[in-house]
Amino acid sequence: MIEIKNTFSEHELKALKSLVGQEFKFIGGREVPDFLVSDSLVLGASNTALAFSAAMKDVTINGAIEDFSFLFVEVANEDVVAETLKSGNMFLLNLRHEITGISIVRETLTHFVKNLPSWTLSADVALVLHLVEGNVMLRLVSHSVEAIAVEYAHDFSLSSFEKPSSRFKNDLFDAYTSQFEVISVS
């Protein structure tokens, strides 16, 4: 069975953990629209700015190439932050609360052929910033699109979480199962 991992690295987790205890300032980006769906975003906090991006990863499975989207995070460079501030595309400015914790939503998607597992995708599909009041979520829109959606929710639960859309559908030959779990980063 082929195992595909699209999860945050230790370096990325360290950057995420650095947000805890800081004040949330904004989410935005030079070209981020007001409906908050983009392939790249900047999150500003009191001492740090992180850049979030969605990208595609090609994986060869049984001779065919499959594309899977994934999230990655890095410390935002000064130019990216300056461009964001200059553009004025900063949102959720009224949520200036302390970041009290970080969680990741991880999906395990398994493909079955003739009732036997063929491949498994383990992917971090969302990030949840827990604030003193409410939660800011950055989530993949789809398994096959480079897009991140940002949402605010007073309460966060897996049952109300909007899962990524998927082109993987059950039919006569293929079956898919999907499981989600919330992992506390800090």
Model pLDDT for residues 27-83, shown as the tens digit of each residue: 999 989 889 999 999 999 999 999 999 999 999 888 889 899 999 999 999 999 999
Give the chain's end-to-end CA distance (angstroms, integer). 32
Q: Which residues does residue 11 pair with via DSSP β-bridges, in sequence order?
A: none
The predicted model gives 142-161 an average pLDDT of 94
Indicate the SS3 state at residue 77.
Answer: coil
Query: Does the global pTM surpass 0.75?
Result: yes
Residue ranges covered by each domain of the chain? 2-184
What's the CA gap between 18 and 69, in Å, rounded? 25
Strands (E) in the chain, as ranges, are: 2-6, 24-28, 37-38, 40-45, 49-61, 64-75, 90-91, 99-113, 116-131, 135-142, 145-153, 174-184
Q: How much is the pLDDT for 49?
A: 98
Q: What is the pLDDT at residue 133?
A: 96
The answer on pLDDT for 22 being more than 90 is yes
Predicted local confidence at residue 175, as pLDDT: 96
Average pLDDT over residues 163-185: 93
- On the question of pLDDT at 132 being above 90, the answer is yes
User: What pLDDT is attached to residue 160?
Assistant: 87
CA–CA separation, 142 vs 126, rounded Å? 11
CA distances (Å), origin 168, targets 71, 96, 151: 19, 39, 25
Answer whether residue 126 shows pLDDT above 90: yes
Determine the distance from the C-alpha atom of residue 185 to the mean position of all C-alpha atoms in its chain, rounded to a whole number: 14
Query: What is residue 86's DSSP assignment?
Result: H
Q: What is the pLDDT of residue 61?
A: 86
DSSP state of 17: H
pLDDT, averaged across the chain = 95
Distance of CA 2 to the CA centre of its chain: 23
